[in-house]
Amino acid sequence: ETGVTQTPRHLVMGMTNKKSLKCEQHLGHNAMYWYKQSAKKPLELMFVYSLEERVENNSVPSRFSPECPNSSHLFLHLHTLQPEDSALYLCASSQAYSGPSPRTQYFGPGTRLLVL
């Protein structure tokens, strides 16, 4: 039990579908993150929410739309994806950054997405 859960664990979708990935953390954290891991590439940070406010958006295409309704839940809404979007999508959480003291990130198990 990592304290961060993600659903679904596997998802196959067509390019015209709309789906959502869900992340939930049970660690009392107030910052959450979406990462993308493509084959043979390092993890890429997509979005950061701190105190339910989006604080970082790393030039992610608009077909990916995040939503953070509260500090425990994070969604990634997907629509009109491309085959190159197939990847492992990882959610993480931590305490929000509040000065020089760093914060450890804890990861969920990931959602493996295949876009056909």
Partner 1 sequence: GIQVEQSPPDLILQEGANSTLRCNFSDSVNNLQWFHQNPWGQLINLFYIPSGTKQNGRLSATTVATERYSLLYISSSQTTDSGVYFCAVRSSGGYQKVTFGTGTKLQVIP
Least distance between partner 1 and beta carbon 68 (Å):
13
* One residue of 11, 48, 74, 78 binding partner 1 per CB under 8 A: 48
Of the candidate spans 16-24, 67-75, 76-84, 89-97, the one that interacts with partner 1 by CB under 8 A turns out to be: 89-97
53 counts as binding partner 1 under rule CB under 8 A: no
What whole-number distance in Å separates Cα of residue 13 and Cα of residue 94?
A: 30
3-state secondary structure of 14: coil
Report yes or no: 71 and 30 within 8 Å, Cβ to Cβ: yes
Of the candidate spans 11-19, 45-53, 60-68, 71-79, the one that interacts with partner 1 by CB under 8 A turns out to be: 45-53
User: What dihedral angle (degrees, nearest 10) is formed by the CA atoms of 58, 94, 77, 73?
Assistant: -160
What whole-number distance in Å separates Cα of residue 51 and Cα of residue 31?
A: 6
109 counts as binding partner 1 under rule CB under 8 A: yes
106 counts as binding partner 1 under rule CB under 8 A: yes
Report yes or no: 3 and 26 within 8 Å, Cβ to Cβ: yes
Q: What are phi and psi for residue 83, nearest 5 degrees?
A: -55, -30
60 counts as binding partner 1 under rule CB under 8 A: no
Residues of this chain that bind partner 1 (CB under 8 A): 2, 31, 33, 37, 42-45, 48, 50, 55-56, 88, 90, 92, 97, 100, 102-107, 109-110, 112
